[in-house]
Amino acid sequence: SASANSVGLLICFSLTTFAVLASVDQPYCTFFGNRAPAPQPTLHNCTWYRQHSCCRGEEINITFASVRPLQGASRSCLRYFNSLMCYICSPSQWVFYRGESLTVCRDFCDKWYQACGSAFIKGQTVASLFENGYKLCDSRQFKVSTGKDDCFRYVAEEGEVFAEASGPPRPPAVALAAAC
């Protein structure tokens, strides 16, 4: 009947519209209750996020003030720590911070472990306390992913530190439209 066809088309149109809207990346700051990223030109830490940041200066300053660096940490080790503390500023945190839990890429954990192996935690080296990077991250209660699209990772370019995440692939809206 014509009425059944109209309802079917309306449902199909609604599903297609929803799929298109859901496929658009809308970055939001999950750590801060879903507020939008904004410019923070006065950030003293995590400066690579000044133009598009989820954190505010006072928030990241509190974070840095509350964490002590490891004794004997190399410059490389400190850069990994700084990068990790700055995840709360990343406008891509919606990818790797979900359900009040940080998901870290396995390769980040391994490189962090290598960079900090000779640093001390409570009088023992990181390398003597943990067998590998996975165990180091796990001890910090991070979820560890073997992928690269759903987790926090570290990318160093010319001495700068960036936390990036490309995000999980979105399903194409066309797939739902074709089903109608």
Give the single-character DSSP code of 50: T
Tell me the pLDDT band of 169, cut-offs 50, 70 and 90: very low
The secondary element (H helix, E strand) that includes residue 58 is helix 57-66
Mean pLDDT of the chain: 77
Tens digits of residue pLDDT in 148-157? 888 998 755 4
Please tell me the distance from the alpha carbon of residue 150 to that of residue 36, in angstroms, as a whole number. Answer: 20
Check residue 154 and give its pLDDT: 72
- CA within 13 Å, CB half, 69: 15
Please tell me the distance from the alpha carbon of residue 37 to that of residue 51, in angstroms, as a whole number. Answer: 9
Check residue 14 and give its pLDDT: 37
pTM of the full structure: 0.71
Check residue 34 and give its pLDDT: 84
Helices and strands in the chain: count of H runs, count of E runs: 8, 7
By the 10 Å C-beta count (0-12 exposed, 13-18 middle, 19+ buried), 50 is classed as middle
Check residue 28 and give its pLDDT: 86
